[in-house]
Amino acid sequence: KYTATNSSVAQVDDGAIPPRSPQGDGALPPRSPQGDAGLVAVAGPGEAAITAWYLSKIAIAAVTVPFEKAVPPEVFTRAERRNFIDDLILAKLQSLNLPPSPLAGDAEFLRRASLDTIGVLPSAEEVRAFLSDPSAGKRGQLIDRLLKRPEFADYWSYKWSDLFLVNSEKLRPAAMWAYYNWIRDSVAANKPWDRMARELIVAKGSTFENGATNFYLLHPDPLEMAETASLAFLGMSINCARCHNHPMEKWTNDQYYGMANLFSRVRAKDLPGDGNRMVFAAAEGDLVQPLTGRPQPPRPLDGEALPVESPEDRRVHLARWLTAPDNPYFSRAIANRVWANFMGVGLVQNVDDMRLTNPASNEEVLAALAKFLAERHYDLKALMRAILESAAYQRSSRALPENAADRRYYSRYYPRRLMAEVLLDAISQATAAPTAFPGYPAGWRALQLPDSNVSSYFLKSFGRPERLITCECERTAEPSMTQVLHLSNGDTLNQKLEAPLNRLERLLTAGAPGEKIIEEAYLSALSRFPTRAETEKLLEVLSQAGAGEQKTVYQDLFWSLLCSKEFLFNH
C-alpha cells in the first residue's frame, strides 16, 4: 500500500489493484507498466513523503520539487546565520528555491519574543528603552532577560499544565494545587525535562505532598496511563493499537499491551484529607491482553521487556528507557513542542503526531535540536535561547513574492493569533484594567491560573482547552462569529475601556496632550510608535470632536487598536 502526504504529490496507482475500466464494463485495464513499483504524480512545488507499509513494516521516501523561480546562490550565502539552526534551514530553503525574508525590525522582534517566551506584552517603557538602545547585542540581552523573568515560569507552567491536564473538575482543590505547584516549581528551577519526566512516571506517595502523583489520579486505568504518557513525552498516539495492530504505524497490539502492562501495578488508597490519596506500586498484578487472554511481558514500546515475575516497580524500567539519551523519540518530541511554540508550526505538525509516517518538514533541524537538547542534559532554556537567537526566528513575518506560498519551511515568521489566555492578558495590560477571576486574588493574569476549570466567557470563546485529554487539538485558534461579536460589542473590551483608573483615565486625569495619549496607546497595544501619518489623522479627528466627545474618540482609538490584526496576532 502506498500513500502520499502533503499536497505536492498525489497517489495515482499503487501497482496492486488497477482501477476499473472507465467505460464502466467492469473489466480491469492492463496493469501499469510500472508494476508493483507504484506511480505518483507531482501536483505542485514543495516536499512530500511517500509511505509504503506492509503489516507493521514501514518505509518512507521523500519527493522534493523546487519552486519554479530560481534564486541566486548569493542570496543564501549572504543570508544572516546565527547558529546551527540557520545553516540547516537555509540549506533546505536553497534546495526549494525559497529566499528568506529579511530580519524583523526591533519593535517587531521585541513584541514577538516577549509574547512567545513569557506570554506578556512589553510595556511602553520597555519599548522606548529597547528602540532607543544603539548597542549591537541588545537582542541577545533581551533574550537573557526574558528567560529570567518571573513571568517565564507562569507561561511555561501554564503550557505544561495543559499537557499534564491540571483540572479541578477531576482533582480536588488541594490535589490540583499540589499538582500545579510541582509543575511551577519545576519550571522556576529550570528542572531538566528528563528529570520532570522521571519524577512524574515513577511518582508515589501522598497526592498532597508529591504533586506529580496526581497524574495517576487523572488516569486510573493502565491503558489511559500508557496512552497519555506516550502522547505527553513521545508525541505519539498509540491508542489505535489498543484493539489491533496499528493500521498506519509500526505499533502492534502486543507492543501496546506490553507498554500498558508497565502501569498495571499502580495502586492508590485513601489518606486523611479531601482528595488526598497514596499512590504506590504493588508487587503483583498484570493486565490481560484481550486478543490472547494472557499478559504481555511489560515492555516500553520497542524497548527491552521485563520478566513478568519481576517484583521491581515497572515504572522505573519505563523511566530509564524513556529518558535515555539514545531514545529516538523522547528528545525529538519535546524539541518539536518547544520549536512549535516559537516558530508557530512544528517541524512535525501536529506536535502530538510524531508518527514515522508523518515526517518532519526538515529532518536535519529536528535531529540537530534533539541532539543539542540531549547534550545539554535537557535544559529547555538552552534550547529556547538557541531558537530565539537564530536568524530563522528573527526573520520578518512579511512575505516576499517568492516565499509567500511557504507554510512549513521557515523562510519567514508565520503570524498566528494569540492564544486565548495571552490575548486576554494583553487586553488587560494594554488598557491597564485587570480581569477578575472568581476565587483568585485581584490582579491575577489568566496565565497565572493553575486550573482550566475557571469560569471565563472570553477564554472559552477564544479556544481555551478543557484539559480532558492530552492533545493540542483541544486548544483552537480557529476564528468564529462568537469571537467577532465579543470583540465588537462584548463585555470584556467595553468594561475595560470604561473601567475607573484604566490607562486612558489616568492619562486624561494627568492632562496628557492628544499626541501623548496616541503614542501611549500604540506603545501599549502594538509595541511600536505610531507613524506620523497615523498621528496626524488621529489628531485631526480629535480636533473635530467637541469637548465632551474627546474621551469617546480616545476609547474608540483603544478599541480599534485592540481589535486590529496587528494586536490580535503575533507577527
Which segment, 2-6, 428-432, 540-544, is predicted with the most confidence on average? 428-432
How many angstroms separate the Cα of 291 from the Cα of each of 84, 116, 228, 230, 534?
A: 48, 47, 22, 22, 70
Which of 34 and 437 is assigned the larger pLDDT? 437
Q: What is the pLDDT of residue 66?
A: 93
| Bridging pattern class, strands 9-13 and 2-5 | unpaired
Is residue 288 within 8 A of residue 253, CB to CB? The reply is no
Which of 199 and 358 is assigned the larger pLDDT? 199
Residues 6 or more apart whose Cβ sits within 8 Å of residue 374: 325, 331
Is residue 162 within 8 A of residue 352, CB to CB? The reply is no
As a whole number, mean pLDDT of residues 201-205 equals: 98
- Residue 211: count other Cβ atoms within 10 Å of its Cβ: 26
Q: What is the largest CA-CA distance in the chain?
A: 87
Whether the pLDDT of residue 85 is over 90: the answer is yes
Whether the pLDDT of residue 39 is over 60: the answer is yes
Over residues 318-332, the pLDDT tens digits come to 999 999 999 989 999
| Bridging pattern class, strands 294-295 and 288-289 | antiparallel
Whether the pLDDT of residue 13 is over 50: the answer is no
Is residue 394 within 8 A of residue 85, CB to CB? The reply is no
Over residues 539-565, the pLDDT tens digits come to 999 999 888 899 999 999 999 999 999
Over residues 344-399, the pLDDT tens digits come to 999 999 999 998 889 999 999 999 999 999 999 999 999 999 999 999 999 999 99
Render 186-209 in DSSP notation, one character per residue: HHHTT--HHHHHHHHHT--EETTT
3 state DSSP class of 250: coil
Whether the pLDDT of residue 2 is over 50: the answer is no
What's the chain's average pLDDT?
91
* pLDDT interval class at 25 (50, 70, 90): very low
Which of 427, 419, 447 has its CA nearest to residue 184? 447
Q: Is the dihedral of CA 166, 454, 427, 431 positive or negative?
A: negative
Instruction: Report the alpha-carbon distance of residue 255 to residue 301 in Å, rounded.
Output: 5
Residues 6 or more apart whose Cβ sits within 8 Å of residue 283: 265, 311
Is residue 176 within 8 A of residue 168, CB to CB? The reply is yes
Whether the pLDDT of residue 24 is over 60: the answer is no
How many angstroms separate the Cα of 4 from the Cα of each of 56, 59, 362, 363, 454?
A: 18, 12, 17, 17, 42
Whether the pLDDT of residue 21 is over 50: the answer is no
Is residue 410 within 8 A of residue 125, CB to CB? The reply is no
| Phi and psi at residue 63, to the nearest 5° | -115, 125
Residue tagged 518538514 (cell numbers): 361
For 368-373, which contacts have Cβ atoms below 8 Å and span 24 or more sequence positions?
Answer: 368/84, 368/85, 368/88, 369/85, 369/332, 369/335, 369/336, 369/339, 370/331, 370/332, 370/335, 371/331, 372/84, 372/335, 373/193, 373/331, 373/334, 373/335
Whether the pLDDT of residue 49 is over 90: the answer is no
Whether the pLDDT of residue 291 is over 80: the answer is yes
Supply 449's cell numbers: 491560573
As a whole number, mean pLDDT of residues 42-69 equals: 84
- pTM score, whole prediction: 0.92
Instruction: Report the alpha-carbon distance of residue 9 to residue 380 in Å, rounded.
Output: 36
Query: Which ranges in 295-435 belong to alpha helices (H)?
Result: 314-323, 330-343, 363-375, 380-389, 391-394, 420-431
